[in-house]
Amino acid sequence: MAKKVVMQLIFTREFPFLLCEIWGKSYNVFLGHRPKTYPRNIFVIKNALISDYRNPGLIKELQNLFFLRIKNNRMYLSEIFAEWQNDYTQLNHYWSRDKLTRLELKKFTLLLSAFWPAIFASMYIPLDMRFSAADRKRMLRLRGEIGEVADKSTHIIVKSLKYIFPRLEGLVNFVSIADLNRNKINSEKLRRISSRELIMMDNKTVSMDGFNHLKKRYNFALQKINPKFKSSFTGQIAYKGLVTGRVRIIQKRAQISSLTKGEVLVSSMTVPDFIPAMRRASSFVTDEGGITCHAAIVAREMKKPCIIGTRVATKVLKDGDMVEVDANKGVVKVIKRAARK
């Protein structure tokens, strides 16, 4: 029997469902609808947070496709790079807007889907030594330029959906591309969807029973990160410093105002909308991220201690825990646990 594939947890964010559809569609458009790697990508939507799980084989599939296309056409990367630059200029026009009409949002989703392979290239080509140093450097530079595509797109998508569907209130994150094309949205259906766990597998929504069946049939599992209580844990130093403070976990935009001055902001990863809370926080600790992630960049700008890539911070810590953030050593130490309910 083939070895079980463990789908790796890449991130957890408050992304709109519509963005996940664009993301999933771009895999199909770029790689084709008959995948060598299955499943490629799984989104688990729970409590308005989306966790992205990816097949380790997907990276190699993407790298091989880029390599094959460049091998067959040495100008491929330059040609597609020019297309991406043009798409990015158009995307910037949309991002600069306060909100989009329904027709504009439809056009935006198509443009973003066409641009998304640029994100694949910027993430995976620099890691593959088969590509020339010049190509790897070009894609690494591109990654620095387009690093906030998902966050900027989330911002304009959510604001536009609130404008287009003003009566949906807190349900806009669950609007789909199909909903966008309908004259009328069933808000009760969206409410039911928002209250349960939702699985999107290779851009197809599946029931929990169906998902469990597919896990057995194709012999895969989702990576589990369920650490027992740890008195301390480590991560990567993004900006040095040493502070002590109470934990405030921020995962959603609605939680931003809950953080008070001097608290330690703990999140899967910060996004631009978190800036007001980051100004009040004494330090930042994240589950995810590398040295060019949002939290690291803002920490350097604000000169606040920051530890990234801990993998476990939001799972080990709770609001009110007193912690020491030693960003000189990359260690977070729990001084006193807050009462658990």
User: pLDDT for 205-252, tens place per residue?
Assistant: 998 899 999 999 999 999 998 777 779 999 999 999 999 999 999 999
Confidence of residue 35 (pLDDT cuts 50, 70, 90): low
- Rounded percentage of the chain residues whose pLDDT exceeds 90: 74
More confident residue, 189 or 52: 52
pLDDT the model gives residue 295: 96
How much is the pLDDT for 33? 63
Q: What is the pTM of this model?
A: 0.89
- When pLDDT is averaged across residues 10-32 and rounded to a whole number, the result is 88
The pLDDT of residue 144 is 84
Whether 324 shows a pLDDT value over 70: the answer reads yes
pLDDT tens column, 62-121:
999 999 999 999 899 899 999 999 999 999 999 999 999 999 999 999 999 999 999 999
Distances, alpha carbon 314 to alpha carbons 50, 239, 280, 286, 328, in Å: 15, 20, 19, 8, 21
* pLDDT band of 31, cuts 50, 70, 90: confident
How many other CB atoms are there within 10 angstroms of residue 232's CB atom?
12
Both tokens of residue 85? 């630059």
Tell me the C-alpha to C-alpha distance, in Å, between residue 9 and each of 44, 56, 98, 224, 297: 10, 10, 33, 8, 23
For the cut 90, the answer to whether the pLDDT of residue 38 exceeds it is no
- How far apart, in whole angstroms, are the C-alpha atoms of residue 97 and residue 20? 21
Query: In this predicted structure, what is the pLDDT of residue 34?
Result: 65
DSSP secondary structure letters along 117-149: HHHHHHHHGGG-TTS-HHHHHHHHHHHHHHTTH
Does residue 147 carry a pLDDT above 90?
Answer: no
Q: For residue 266, how far is the Cα from the chain centroid?
A: 16
When the pLDDT of each residue in the chain is averaged and rounded to a whole number, the result is 92
3-state helix, strand, coil in the chain (%, to 5): 50, 20, 30
**pLDDT (0 to 100) of residue 195:** 85
Alpha-carbon distance 168 to 180, whole Å? 13
Instruction: List the 220-222 sheet strands across, edge first.
Output: 204-206, 198-201, 41-46, 49-54, 5-13, 220-222
What one-letter code names the amino acid at 39?
P
pLDDT at residue 1, as a whole number:
60
Choice between 265 and 185, residue whose per-residue pLDDT is larger: 265
Half-sphere exposure of 182 (CA within 13 A, CB side): 10
Domains, the chain, in order of start with CATH, read 5-222 (no CATH), 232-336 (3.50.30.10)
Task: Point out which residues pair with 248 in neighbouring strands.
Answer: 265
